[in-house]
Structure 1
Amino acid sequence: MSAPKSIPNSAPDSTPVSSGKKPAITVTLKNIVQEYPAPGSGTTRVVDGVNIDFSRPGINMLLGPSGCGKSTLLHMMGGVRPMGVKTPTSGTILIDGVECEGPHDDSVMVFQRYANRPDLTVFENVAFPFRLKLWKNRVPEAEWRQRVQDMLKAVGLADKQKLRPSQLSGGQNQRVALARALVLRPRILLMDEPFGALDAQTREEMQGLLIELYNAWPCLVIFVTHDVTEALILGDRVIVLSSQPAKVADDFTIDTPRPRSVAWQRSSEAVKMEESILSQLHKASPGKGSVRVTV
């Protein structure tokens, strides 16, 4: 991995409000089941009895085969509720002990499709949340303008703030989306395969940038991926899900400090983790779904 650029140590704390730092936030999934109507009749179960507790800041990788239900779980945690379907079918999601039934003020999401508005400049896209009543009331204009400038500098787009998304590359557009999320200094950052559509070099650069930004603004990150290598490079914790219906197949921590070099990725420690993940996936769902191992 190429060395990410340095971010000043004077970066603001991770609280989303101006007045004082809040304690670490917790997210708890209790016996989550999700079913959707099946074609014709009956139901299809996509998540089956998932229990996970996120109790401290860190980068938590939610890894599993394509289509296994990872994004479904992430959207639940972000309060995204599809029309006409009870979500979750059963079980409870708690944020700081309170049931999550919709969008949460301390949580933001970053998607693979970055959804930058084409009619706005880079600066205006990053500043867009401050047009909304919640954030307009929380953060004075002088402060949010400074935050946007600081974040654009941190993601390497200070010289492109007057450009439109159509004038940027895919990686630069994803930087805009990441900046728009982190400018709020969220306590929970939910990421749904945000680098999955990028080429290998750009994906590597974005992984390095995420590590640098996390070090500057620590929060509870839950990052969905089906790339085993990405999980091992980024994760403090890796939660492995089986193919649909998703169950927890493995859950382990990685103590090696980030950034993790190519040499570490080829070490016996990393290879054993990779083999264990693939073995757990095979046991939990033989012959189903697919995961990626970056070469």
Structure 2
Amino acid sequence: MFGFFSRRKTRVEKAREAFFKGDLETHKKLHSPDEIGKEPWHKTEQGKYIGQAVYGASDGIVTTFAAISGVAGANLSPKVALIVGLANLFADGISMAIGDYLSEKSEKDYLAAERERERWEVEHMPEAEKHEIREIYKRKGLSGEKLDKLVDAITSDKDLWVETMLHEELGLFEDDSSPLKSALVTFFAFIIAGFMPLIAYVFASQWNFLANNQFLISCIITGITLFAVGALRQIVTGVKWFIGGFEMLMIGGLSATVAYLIGWILKAVFNIVV
């Protein structure tokens, strides 16, 4: 998972960082013609999937730890915690990856269908579509000769015309990420991070200290991992790393506490013995 984060910052990321630090000189330099021309206008192959990696990892660790917390709250056997944790980990990981794949693919299919429709309208109803372009930019404040020149420039190229309609009329933008790669990143990030709460249970037979303190050690490992994953969210959200870390720690802790209490209540009510 962490290979996805070992990359150079983009110009936009550096500019965002300089803006929040109040570093005006660096911000200006990053907006010079030379700096703007250096960088391609698309995400890097690694950068495309950072969001999926971070959020997959977040969901993985929270859901797995919540599952074993419920078992611990019910005071069930550690073997039950291991079984429930692993079953939850892989079932939810696969479910989340499939959901990610279908969501991304559906968006791409929808975009392709809308692009085809707009192209047909441009070819068969050019005057109406040209009028729509005019209205779009008229509402943005353009008028007179400037508006006429812009409309003529856009409608002189069918591809540009269609893409402009997609962006400005429908609010749709092309994303060149792969649904399959996105799903795989989500799955592996979910599995790797979600495995952290189970380490003490998996290796309990190798060390008596682990066997005697499985849930406590799981809590410690999970807390560290939650904070780390939360801190990494700043790559996607821009929030300060320590704020992101504490937010994720609080969310994971709340989920685990609720699961633990439910397990404890069910144990008390039904007197479950395993």
TM-score (norm 2): 0.23
When you count strand as a share of all residues, which structure comes out higher?
Answer: 1
Task: Compare the two structures and name the one with the higher helix fraction.
Answer: 2
- State the structure with bigger RCO (CA 8 A, min sep 6), 1 or 2: 2
Give the TM-score of the pair, scaled to structure 1.
0.22
